[in-house]
Structure 1
Amino acid sequence: MLLMGGDRIDEAVAHAAKTLRATADRDWSVPAYRLDWSCLETAEHIAGALVGYAGQLTGRAATAYVPFDIALDDGTDPEGAIHVIEATSGILAAVVRTAPPGVRAYHPYPHRSADATGFAAMGVAEILIHAYDIARAFGVDAEPPADLCEALLAHLFPHVPPAPTGATHWATLLWATGRGPLPGRTPLDHWRWRNARTIPAGHVTLHEVTPAVAADLAAGGTGGFTWIEGGPYDGTRTAAGMVAKAYAGGVYRPDWGMHVLVRADDGIAVGGMGFHGPPDDEGCVEVGYDLAVAARGNGYATEALRSLSQWALDHPDVTSLLARVDPTNTPSHAVLTRTGYTRLPDRAPTHAYGLRRA
C-alpha cells in the first residue's frame, strides 16, 4: 500500500535513527553531503521541518508559515540530535493521525497548501533525504526500505517517472532530489516536490488524486477517503486504474488525472471526476465523471464540473473540453447542459458535448 500517514513517518524515522546512530561517534561538525550545513545543523533542520509541518496543520496556517522555529541546545551531541529527530517526528505523526478530514495548511509548492497526507509525505522526505546527507558524509549506507521510497515517489513526486529498468526506487528518489545519477536521465540541478491540489466547488471540493491514491483505489481500497454508501462507483475505480497505469508507464502528467469529490460539510467522498489525459495538439481535453448512487440528485456533479471546467479553460494549454455520454444517461446529459456544454456530432456509440474557451 502506497498511502501516506503517521505510520510512514514512524517507519522513516526508525530507519533514519538506526542509520544515524552508526555515525554518532563521529564529528558532526563536518559538512553534510553537498550541503552548506554541518551534519549537526542538518539534523536541526530535519527537526525544525518536522515540528514546523505539525505547527502548520495545528495552527491552520492559511497564507504563510507559522512564525516559529526550534534550535538544538548548545553542546548537543549527535545522539542528542537523533533523539530530537525522533521526538519531533512523533509530534508530526500524532498531528497527521488526528487532523480532521479536509484540513489543509499553507505550503508554497506548488498550490500554496497541503493536506495531512501531504505534510506526512514531506516529513518522510525530510527524514530520508537529510539522513542520507548526514550518513553520506561518513560513507555510511542510508538506503531505506524500497516500499517506503516507492510510496514517497508516488505521492510527492508524481511528475517523476518511476524507476527505470535496473534502477531502484531509492536511486530514483536521490535523482529526483538532485543527489545522484540515474541511467538515461540528465542530472537535476533544480527540483521541487509536488503536493496535490484541491478545487472548491460549492457543496463539494475536488481533491486531486496522486498515483499513490489511484493505485489504492484501483486495487479496491478507499484511497484514504471515507466514502458514501455504495462508493467508490465503478467509473471512479476505472479512472483510478488509468492514472495508475499511466504513472507506471511513465506517461502520467499531474493536473490531467482524476479527482475525488468530497462533500464540504462532512468530508464524505461521493464520486470521481477528471480528465482522460492531457490536452491534445489542438488544446482539447476530455472530461469524465461519476457519482455513487446515494449521492445523485443533489447537484454535486454540476457544481464540480463547472469548477473543473473553469479551471481547465483557464489553463494556457486548453482551448476546449469534450465529454462523451451514453445516449441513455439522461441525468448526465442534463449535467452537461446545465454546465454550459453544447451537443456536438455524435462519436458513436456515445453522444458528444463540448465547451470552448470564451
Structure 2
Amino acid sequence: MTMAAATPSPDKLVAELRARALALGFGSFGITPADARPDLPEKLATAIDAGWHGDMDWMAETAERRGSPNALWPQARSIILLGYNYGPTSDPLAILGEKSLGSISVYARNRDYHEIIKGKLKELAGLLARRSGAEVKVFVDTAPLMEKPLAEAAGLGWQGKHTVLVSREFGSWLFLGAIMTSAELPEDKPHAESCGKCTRCLDICPTKAFPAPFQLDARRCLAYLSVEHKGQIPLEFRTPMGNRIYGCDDCLAVCPWNKFASVSREAKLRAREDLERPTLADLARLDDDGFRTLFAGSPVKRIGHARFLRNVLIGIGNSGDDSLKPLVEAQLEAQDPLVRGVAIWALRRLDPARADSLALAYSARESDSSVKSEWTVDIS
C-alpha cells in the first residue's frame, strides 16, 4: 500500500517555496494575509474620483474587486508576492539626449514580462498546491489585484513617492507577480516607507504628473500617454515627451536605491540589442508587418502600429533633424487620423514654412476635424 506524502509544516513549506522561487530567478519573496490592506478601497476611490486613472475605465469598473483581494476571490487567505529583477546595466536616461534615437522603456526591451513571469509563477503555485492541497490562483498584472501595496505589506519593499515599489536590493526595477491561496501561511512583516526627504523622482518628471508625493495622475504621465492612451497625445505633452516612444523611465531611473540593485545576470532580463538604441528613421519606415515582426513577443506590439507611429512621429518632431522630413510628409497621407494628425505637428515643428505651403491643399481634403485643426493650432 502506498502511503500519501505528509503535508509539511507551514514553516517548512514556506522555506521550500522560497528556495524554489530563488531557483526560478525571483529576487524577492514575501507573504501577506489577503486582508492586510483594508485601506485600499479608500485610496483607490480617491484616485478614481479625482480622475487620475485617465481613460483606463477598467480601473473604475473593477474598483470593488481591485480594492479587496477577498472581493476578487473570497477563499483567499494568504498572498505570496514575488519580485523579478529587470534592472538595466546602464543609465536608461542617457538616450534621451540622442534625439535621433527612440527611447523604449527598460521593461519593454525584451520579451513580454507577463509571459516570462507567469510560467514561473505557475510552477511555484503548482508546488504549493501539491505540497499543501490548497487552492491557488496566479496573477501577473492581468487581473484587478493591487500588487504594489500588497508587495509592501509582504515586505518586498515600499511604494515610493513615484508610487512604484522600491526595494533595498533592486531599487525601482522589479516585475511583480502574485499567488493567491486558500492556505494560511506565515506572514512576513511589512516594509516601512524609506524615501526620507528625497524627491528626485518627483522633481525629474517632465510633465509634473505627481499631484503630491505618493500620488500619480496618469493623465499627465508619459508612461500612460505613450502606452495606455488610445487617442492623440495632448499638445502640452508632446514636446516634453522628447524621444520617448514607449514608456518613461525617468522617475524610476533616478531613485537612489537603484545603486544597491543586484547585477546578477541569472536574475535579470537581458535587453534585446535591437531595442536598446533604435533610430527614429528606421522605426518610422516600419509598415504594419514590419512593426509586428520587430516587436514580436514584446509588450510594444500591444499598442498597435498606429499608436506606435504616433509616438515615433512625436520623437521626430522633437528631433530637430531636417533629414527626417520626407518620412513625416509620407505620413500626411496615412489612413489612420491619429497618425495624420501628429505628422502635421511634427512637420510644423521641423519646417514651419514647408507646413504652411502644404496646409491649404491638405486641409481642404481632410475629413477629420481633429486632424484639420492640427494645421492651425498654436504649437509654440
Normalised TM-score (structure 1):
0.31
Normalised TM-score (structure 2):
0.30
Q: Normalized per residue, which structure has more strand?
A: 1
Greater length-normalized contact order (CA 8 Å, ≥ 6 residues apart): 2
